[in-house]
Amino acid sequence: MRDRIWISELNDIDAVRSGFDRSRPVRFYDTTLRDGEQAVGVVFNPEEKFAIACGLADLGVGRIEAGFPRVSAADSRAVQRILGAGLAAEIWGFSRAVKDDLDALIELGIRQTLIEISTSEIKMKAYGFDRDKVIVRVRDSVRHAIANGMKVLFFPVDSTRSDLGFLKRVYETALEAGATEVAVVDTIGACSPEAVAHIVRTVRGWVGPEVPLHFHGHNDFGLGTAGAIAAVRAGADWIQGTINGIGERAGNSDLCEVALALSCLYDVPVELNLPQARRVSALVQQAGGYRVDGWRPVVGDNLFVRESGAVATQFHIPEAIEPYAADLVGATRGIVLGKKSGLANIRLKAEELGLALPEARMADVLARVKDQATAAERLLTDEEFRQLVRASLAAA
């Protein structure tokens, strides 16, 4: 794999590589079907949720948060179908620290769940909680889940803006009640990567080395991936996030971006099948009714497509113009034609389409391509290129 990654040698210095545990792969907990669906205007129907869950399993996601059954009957049906599919990924439920939420999961047969409650002063005030009420709810909800044979991941909402003394007390309460895993949650993307590292390291010190530790981040300052990487360096075992970073406000940490960066830049093993990334990305986009930018990392349409003539002259040497091979993320390379194209584009596109275009006519075809693309203010299709080639040859 290393021969398909063409990054700077500066990534090999100790300041970059140190601090990571490379003895086991980083694992991924996907919340596209729950937190991702909180993106404005996005609604996944049960069929779409099932298809996305199957795609996530193919991607190698270790855990899929199947949704919040109490939202609707449709969500309950979707969770039931996902549970019954026998997917390789673990299927997890989502619950507030509320007995009725847990009972809905228990009734469906979900055996593992995330339990959330707010722990920052501002969030507790918004919900009408105080510290004592939070402690009681955490203890009672976790105990109820454990008594019904469930595995619990405790998820303190807005933990990065919580009083650390109180946050420690809440974690201790959850673990004493039977939770076996905990998360650090940057609910509104309020932490720099350095701050993420600090709180993850702090929580790791509180819970000890054996308790699986998750990081859940958001992208409000464009640092969702950087924060997740900092969390891994500081001791997080699991990264939570979504496909395409879909989610409320600026979205969540993008699981595929995090996995690619950890693998290629930091040489950290990851449990994700990245060649499936673009297929699953397209599935989520179609179901959500939106399109990601063409220049988005990992899944953008333009990453391995070249229009510029200056870049096209280097197309035969991928490492000169790309930091990693296209097949690492299931992409194909290609040449397109537009205003910025050069003679190299014409030559490569003619070869791709099997067109016999003499060298002497390439400059004329290029001029025609530039004129038509500029007038249309878009790229040209392959059929339009064929027509221009025919017109040029006829005029010779």
Residues 153-199 pLDDT 10s: 999 999 999 999 999 999 999 999 999 999 999 999 999 999 999 99
Judge whether 296 and 369 are in contact, CB under 8 Å.
no
Cα 18 versus chain centre, distance: 24
Output the pLDDT for position 13: 95
Q: Which residue has the tokens 């205003």?
A: 339
Provide CATH code, domain 2-288.
3.20.20.70
* Res 8: pLDDT: 95
Write down the domain spans for the chain. 2-288, 305-395
What is d(CA 52, CA 382) in angstroms, rounded to the nearest whole number?
32
Would you give the DSSP letter of residue 62?
Answer: S
Q: Give the separation between CA 380 and CA 377, rounded to whole angstroms.
A: 9
Tell me how crowded residue 92 is: count the other CB atoms within 10 A of its CB. Answer: 24
β-partners of residue 63 are: 29, 90
Instruction: Report the pLDDT value the prediction gives residue 182, as an integer from 0 to 100.
Output: 98
| H helix runs in the chain, sequence order | 14-17, 46-59, 73-83, 99-108, 121-127, 131-147, 164-177, 193-207, 224-234, 255-266, 277-288, 309-312, 318-321, 343-353, 359-376, 382-395
Separation CA 337–CA 266 (nearest Å): 36
Beta-ladder partners of 183: 214
- Quick one: pLDDT at residue 74? 78
The answer to whether the CB of 310 falls within 8 A of the CB of 342 is yes
258 near 239, Cβ under 8 Å?
yes
Length of the chain: 396
* pLDDT tens over the chain, length 396 residues: 788 999 999 999 999 999 999 999 999 999 999 999 999 999 999 999 999 999 999 999 999 999 777 667 878 888 899 999 999 999 999 999 999 999 999 999 999 999 999 999 999 999 999 999 999 999 999 999 999 999 999 999 999 999 999 999 999 999 999 999 999 999 999 999 999 999 999 999 999 999 999 999 999 999 999 999 999 999 999 999 999 999 999 999 999 999 999 999 999 999 999 999 999 999 999 999 999 999 999 999 999 999 999 999 999 999 999 999 999 999 999 999 999 999 999 999 999 999 999 999 999 999 999 999 999 999 999 999 999 999 999 997
373 CB neighbour count, 10 Å cutoff: 20
**How many Cα neighbours within 13 Å face the side chain of 380?**
27
User: What is the Cα–Cα distance from 193 to 46, expressed in whole angstroms?
Assistant: 36
CB 102 within 8 A of CB 95: yes
> Quick check: 154 and 105 in contact, CB under 8 A?
no
∠ Cα 293 304 326 (to 5°): 115
**pLDDT score of 216:** 98
CA 94 to chain centre: 19
Q: How far apart are CA 348 and CA 306, in angstroms?
A: 11
Q: What is the pLDDT of residue 71?
A: 66
Instruction: Round to whole Å and give the CA distance between 379 and 71.
Output: 44
Orientation angle between helical segments 164-177 and 193-207, nearest 10 degrees: 40
- Dist CA 162 CA 185 (whole Å): 10
Query: Which residue do the tokens 């064929």 mark?
Result: 386
Number of Cβ atoms within 10 Å of the Cβ of 367: 12
